[in-house]
Amino acid sequence: MALDVTDATFQTDVIERSSEVAILVDLWAPWCGPCRSLGPIIERVVGATEGRVELVKVNVDENPQISGAFKVQSIPAVYALKDGKVVDGFVGALPEAQVKAFVAKLAPPKTEVDLLVEAGDELSLRRAVQLQPGHDAATVALADLLVSRSDEGDGEAALALLAKIAESNETRRIAALARVGVAPTVVDDATLRELDTLLDQVKADEGARQRFLDLLEVMGDAPEVPIYRRKLAARLF
């Protein structure tokens, strides 16, 4: 089902929403014959994506700001947005096969690996990384599962998995848990004493520096974290 968007709602319903899902913007007008033939085709095709793409419609006669932003000269005009930016588009009424091809580029059908990652159990995740080594989502999910289980050797297995993909905030968190163990539910005096002790070693001892960083990582949003990051920077630089 298409959502009717106005100048007032465009920022929220299109720009902000496109950071979560691909948005197709159909610029049309009631007097436009090709618009009326294209509209049902787009709705069918987007509906078949099962939520991977969302459709919004803009009446250009009633929403001049949006029309101006897209520099509309002819309708129907269709634009695809991701992360607040136009990534593709076309003008005119295309046949259904071409509309399908256009939409498929925005949200390819889920692969077997995608479905295995969605299942989320260990057997499925192991199968996913076997089928596609280095798949970010599968690798991160499996590593996280291994670390949360805390069995002997699982931390090393998780680190080996994470070494195969690019570093991110999430991989750093999981890697820190793999090295440190269970994250503290509260930041206690023992943890702070250890950080203070490590501060004297971080400049010359790489192992101490990694331990210090790992402790800060597993502490999450604790208020002490930025304080100790500043202390670390002062020692290193």
Q: Would you name the residues annotated as active-site residues?
A: 32, 35
Query: Largest Cα–Cα distance in the chain?
Result: 75
* Cβ atoms of residues 56 and 27 within 8 Å: no
Give the whole-angstrom CA distance, residue 84 versus residue 87. Answer: 9
* Cβ atoms of residues 199 and 168 within 8 Å: no
Backbone φ and ψ of 190, nearest 5°:
-65, -40
Closest CA to 112 of 129, 87, 92, 97: 129
